[in-house]
Amino acid sequence: MTETHDPHFENIVNELNEVTTIADKLVFYSVYLRPPAGSKDKGPNPPADALSKVDSLTKIETTLKKISEIDEKLDQIETDNPEVFTDQVEDYRSDLEDLKKRLKNLKQVINYELLNEGDPSKSEGSWLTTYKNLLGAKLHKEKNALEEIQESETKDQAELQTLCKRLDRIVQTAAMLQEAARYLHWFTNRIVEANEALPDSKKDYTLELVAGWMRTELDRVKDHEQNCFNVKSELEGKLFEKTEE
């Protein structure tokens, strides 16, 4: 998402940050809504702010409504300032479209039990692949945002404080991804163990491959969180030096 200090978009940015956080939690905490088939283990406890299935579906609808309201505000900015903020409006609108797409797809993922038997999207391997792709896409954005902060050459105290605020959001998102990774690690191990216990004729031989992809992604989540802590420590050190001058 594009950061801006333009007063025309200040509220838009704040509201977009808010719905992005809500959408991310809905997407990544929803992993806790699907237990491995046949597993007797309870698994990791969900985060305190993870929602039930019913509450998640309700929250998706209210968030989609909020996204539409932000979109209407962008329309108004565009109407009041024709051809002045076209690029900025399109950037934010693209972010909103991405959020809408993710939330609409999430409804089907959460309601996997309603899919017909034999539907590939119903299988645990397909479910795992979906979240592997979601993690990968989110991680790519977060890494880019972290690199922007790392590469910033600002030496002004006020700008350093702004960077720290941006970094706080990245650190919080990294922690959220790690919460999802914690469950996905457990889920992956359980379904692989269950698959290995099956007779050869019933084994899903693609599952080990999918599990390998997921484990690689989970390692990346862990590395990213550590990188966030390192950058946070470095940035706070620079800010402390400025306050001492």
pLDDT value at residue 3: 52
Tens of pLDDT, residue by residue over 17-32, are 999 999 999 999 999 9
**Residue/partner pairs of 6-11 with CB below 8 Å, 24 or more apart:** 6/85, 6/88, 8/77, 8/81, 8/85, 8/88, 9/77, 9/85, 9/88, 9/92, 11/73
pLDDT value at residue 2: 47
Indicate the fold that domain 1-114 takes in CATH.
Methane Monooxygenase Hydroxylase; Chain G, domain 1 (1.20.58)
Q: How confident is the model at residue 153 (pLDDT cuts 50, 70, 90)?
A: confident
Instruction: Kindly report the pTM of this predicted structure.
Output: 0.90
pLDDT at 110 over 70: yes
Tens of pLDDT, residue by residue over 185-238, are 999 999 999 999 999 999 999 999 999 999 999 999 999 999 999 999 999 888
